[in-house]
């Protein structure tokens, strides 16, 4: 049977073809790219519906910004932002939903409300109980590398591998099967210089050593701005697509992006070109 993520309702998301596309719904006033764009639950639900129509395989819903200097959020406020959106989208679309949070309390409520995947930007190391939440619900968990500080002298690839090994151990210890664990190198200002982020994209294939599917999320990130000279995040779409296409050649199984329509078009072309000649119609 081909590799897949199994959702709590029994559905399987195949990981053997072109990468799955994860669309981003940020219900935050202070996210780096789209903070304040979605002013209320109705706006966020409409945006999620559009992402699904544009080709998203997963909709990732977050209520707390993760940009540097963001204001910490308590679980109650975060849940007040995300739960109406999860419930609204669950009523309108069949696309699986993920909850973008590091808090076990938020993940528990989100999964109970209809989310299917946990996406933790701290790799179950800030609130390890979140791994147990995923295990009890039978939900896949995405474990991302993160750092409190930037160290330009750090061997970032080694640091990412060691960090994610610890994260995987936490998840395995509470019953999350390895095939339900996705790893993410944490591209951008998650304790990394632009040069370190570039290296992680270039050597993304090394993460296959961990034995888990890989998620790549370079969408509109500062590293794309450094490379292209585009200071406005919304103007970094083409650069983001380029980074993600390269990541797919290195084994990325999931691409997390703001601009799903453009990514869907790019990956359709990529899949057609990369398809073996003998299997073409």
Please give the radius of gyration of the chain, using alpha carbons only, rounded to the nearest integer: 17
Torsion sign (Cα): 200, 201, 205, 207: positive
Torsion sign (Cα): 197, 203, 205, 208: negative
Judge whether 50 counts as a catalytic residue: no
Partners of 214 in the beta sheet?
Answer: 183, 252
Whole-angstrom distance, CA of residue 269 vs CA of residue 255: 16
- Show the tokens assigned to 234: 């919304």
CB 196 within 8 A of CB 151: no
Whole-angstrom distance, CA of residue 5 vs CA of residue 142: 11
- Show the tokens assigned to 65: 């910004």
CB 113 within 8 A of CB 59: no
Closest CA to 81 of 121, 124, 49, 113: 113
Whole-angstrom distance, CA of residue 4 vs CA of residue 161: 22
Judge whether 87 counts as a catalytic residue: no
- Which of 103, 192, 236, 256 is an active site residue? 256
CB 164 within 8 A of CB 210: yes
Cα dihedral value 164, 117, 35, 260, nearest 10: 100
Whole-angstrom distance, CA of residue 197 vs CA of residue 3: 27
- Which of 11, 221, 268, 280 is an active site residue? 221
Instruction: Give catalytic residues, as residue numbers.
Output: 221, 256
């Amino acid at each position: 049977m081909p590799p897949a993520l199994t959702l709590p309702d029994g559905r399987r998301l195949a990981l053997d073809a072109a990468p799955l596309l994860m669309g981003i719904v940020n219900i935050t006033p202070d996210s780096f790219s789209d903070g304040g764009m979605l002013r209320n639950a109705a706006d966020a639900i409409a945006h999620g519906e559009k992402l699904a129509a544009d080709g998203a395989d997963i909709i990732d819903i977050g209520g707390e910004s993760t940009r540097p200097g963001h204001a910490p959020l308590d679980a109650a406020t975060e849940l007040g932002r995300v739960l109406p959106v999860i419930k609204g989208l669950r009523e309108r679309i069949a696309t699986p939903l993920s909850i973008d949070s590091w808090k076990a309390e938020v993940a528990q409520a989100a999964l109970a409300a209809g989310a299917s995947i946990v996406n933790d930007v701290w790799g179950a190391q800030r609130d390890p109980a979140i791994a147990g939440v995923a295990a009890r619900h039978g939900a896949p968990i995405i474990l991302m590398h993160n750092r409190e500080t930037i160290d330009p002298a750090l061997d970032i690839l080694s640091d990412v591998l060691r960090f994610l090994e610890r994260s995987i151990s936490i998840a395995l210890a509470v019953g999350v099967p390895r095939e339900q664990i996705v790893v993410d190198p944490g591209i951008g200002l998650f304790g990394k210089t632009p040069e370190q982020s570039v290296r992680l994209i270039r050597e993304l294939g090394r993460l296959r050593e961990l034995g888990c599917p890989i998620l790549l999320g370079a969408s509109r990130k500062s590293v794309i701005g450094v490379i292209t000279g585009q200071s406005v995040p919304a103007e970094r779409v083409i650069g983001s697509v380029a980074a993600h296409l390269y990541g797919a050649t290195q084994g990325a199984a999931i691409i997390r992006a703001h601009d799903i329509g453009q990514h869907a078009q790019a990956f359709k072309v990529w899949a057609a070109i990369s398809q073996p000649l003998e299997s073409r119609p």
